[in-house]
Amino acid sequence: MIGPIVIDDLRPRSPSGRYPAKAVVGEAVTVSADVFRDGHAVLAARCRWRRVGARRWSATPMVHVGNDRWEGEIRPDELGPWEFVVEAWTDRYASWRRDVELKHAAGQDVELELREGAELLAARAAEVAAALRPTVAGAAAVVADAGLAVASRLAAGTEDSVATALAGVPEAGDLTASGSHRLMVERERALRGAWYELFPRSEGGLAAAAATRLGAIAGMGFDVVYLPPVHPIGTTHRKGRDNTLVAGPDDPGSPWAIGSPAGGHTDLEPSLGTWEDFDGFVAQARRLGMEVALDYALQCSPDHPWVAKHPEWFHRRPDGSIRYAENPPKRYQDIYPLNFWPAAEGDRKALWEACREILEFWIARDVRIFRVDNPHTKPLAFWEWVIQAVHSDHPDVVFLAEAFTRPKMMAKLAEVGFSQSYTYFTWRTTGPELRAYLEELAHGPVADYMRPNLWPNTPDILSGPLRLGPRAAFAIRLVLAATLSPSYGIYSGYELCENEPASPDNEEYRHSEKYELRSRPWGDPASLAPLVGQLNDIRRRHPALGELRTIAFHHTNDPALLAYSKRSSGAGSGGDTGGDTVLVVVNLDPHAAHADWLGLDLEALGVAADAPYEAFDELTGVSYTWQGATPYVRLDPALPAHVLSLRT
């Protein structure tokens, strides 16, 4: 039977409720719920929360924000699983206080109400903290004293100090609790970070890349260096340049065709160097303030040791051959997918355990971030199991899902455990598309458990305005990715504005680095590297840009202009402890200048309607003094964005 108080629609939560919502250490997490009951009594609510297994609960009051919705804020401070519950009760003191004040203001006799209040306060005095009992008990005594004037008794019982003493103290009469909800708390890198994808073989191997490229990548302000598979590459059906079926003697093959006589997923491609070179690469990245992310691609070349040793782990065709990977019209003759559901249960367990051991091997080599290749082509049950197994021993490991797939599958992968996900940002190019998509990611139900990582390009994808696009197109997409999301990444060569597609219809690059070595003019004076460095520096100095759920979009009359802001309650730039607010305005047209009078939501910006405020452009160093909601902006393709820190 339903109780007198209803607690519904708790957030954060996962859609099924089977899996935890997500947060990172120190993140402010808003817990909200619908709380209501019959009649007109005043309710109170709080959130209780703790790390799973801890003996002591923390509690934070919740406030009514409208339409029976209540909110409170918690800040988990340790890695691992947490839980929270929402509790609600009828606040008899607040109900009495409201009613007696209304009756007295209407000139009605309140003697009985004062007697009721005195009894209530006397009873509640025993339930508050010891330091507050004199306040409540003293008020009870004054309210009960019929020899005093009614106004004095009423004032004593309703003063704010009494209300404060009783706030958040539950009453046993109809105390109602929700079920327990889970929250997986990960480290900050699961939410925030700038990624750079690098093929070390194009730089001459791991040792050469560590010596020549890591410093430049760190100089641009990146947090993560992501490497495609570093394992031995097969030779059977090896692809040649431009994905041709016949490889030349010098063609290196695709790194995703994993396995050769030199070994499999726990071995190193000989042309990249030695284990000493790999460990040196990881150590050098850490010295420069970066982490190395590795590709976790669960597939094999025909030459992988597993093919001969464990043929039961692969799909067989009617003619006895092993099925290779296909994504029509694309065919990958050099790659064999794994069969995660072999007929024998023992074979399945052995395969899944072998896949987990791959992760343990690289974790032991100081790798804590994995970009997972095509996770939507493997069972959700496997990801649920393997991520939980790894996190039970290594809660600091971060998993990024490369899931360019159907929305519900993408969301489900996040729900069952992935820390981050690639998104459809690559294909969202107009103002309305970007606004709708980011509002979905930041404010929709997926915001509770799916964290976006925005990539303008990948080795597989050259899309939208970047195809044959000018330098301004690359600058635009860079600014958007870096400021819309706490996490974003670019694939090597983006800063050089590589823009040639494989064909008018093919989204891949011409002369793809997946199949050949690339030599790049890193010192090109037209490189976007300085802008990349500026943006990453701005991201680090402005905690607002590390937020996702605070994004707010503002009105523009010109559809080529997109305006949005983010706020943080943490310390802002320049020692401003009052918070941090950043307003970004982007010209989405890489070919022409656009100007407009903006329509800013001043409340979302924390700016008073009649107060002047400073808008400091972090990209140019120019400061503007604005007043009101309609400042004028003009943006040229040469520098197509304002990134403005606002100061009142």
Do residues 295 and 269 touch, judged by C-beta distance below 8 A? Answer: no
b/e per residue 533-569 (b: at least 16 CB within 10 A): bbbbebbeebbbbbbbbbbbbbebebebbbbbbbbbe
- Identify residue 282 by its one-letter amino acid code: V
C-alpha separations of 272 from 233, 358, 360, 514, 539 in Å: 11, 19, 21, 15, 33
C-alpha to C-alpha distance for 501 and 516, rounded to whole angstroms = 16
Do residues 425 and 452 touch, judged by C-beta distance below 8 A? Answer: yes
Cβ neighbourhood burial of 611 (10 Å; 0-12, 13-18, 19+) = exposed
Q: What is the DSSP track for 16-45?
A: SSSS-EEEETT--EEEEEEEEESSS--EEE
Q: Six-digit token pair at 423?
A: 């998104």
DSSP label of 216? H
Q: Six-digit token pair at 605?
A: 């910006």
Give bridge partners of residue 87 from the DSSP assignment.
Answer: 46, 177
At 176 the three-state DSSP class reads strand
Report the 10 Å Cβ neighbour count for 578.
11
C-alpha to C-alpha distance for 300 and 67, rounded to whole angstroms = 55
Do residues 101 and 154 touch, judged by C-beta distance below 8 A? Answer: yes
Do residues 627 and 612 touch, judged by C-beta distance below 8 A? Answer: yes
C-alpha to C-alpha distance for 26 and 109, rounded to whole angstroms = 52
b/e per residue 613-641 (b: at least 16 CB within 10 A): bebbbbeeeeeeebeebebebebebeebb
- Give the residue from 153, 317, 302 showing the smallest Cα distance to 236: 302
The residues, ordered by sequence, that sit 6+ positions from 94 with a Cβ below 8 Å of its Cβ are: 42, 44, 163, 166
C-alpha separations of 250 from 207, 480, 516, 600 in Å: 21, 39, 9, 58
For the chain, how far is it from start to end, CA to CA, in angstroms? 53
Cis peptide before 232 (omega within 30 of 0): no
Q: According to the 3-state scheme, what is the secondary structure of 265-286?
A: CCCCCHHHCCHHHHHHHHHHHH
Residues assigned a catalytic role: 373, 402
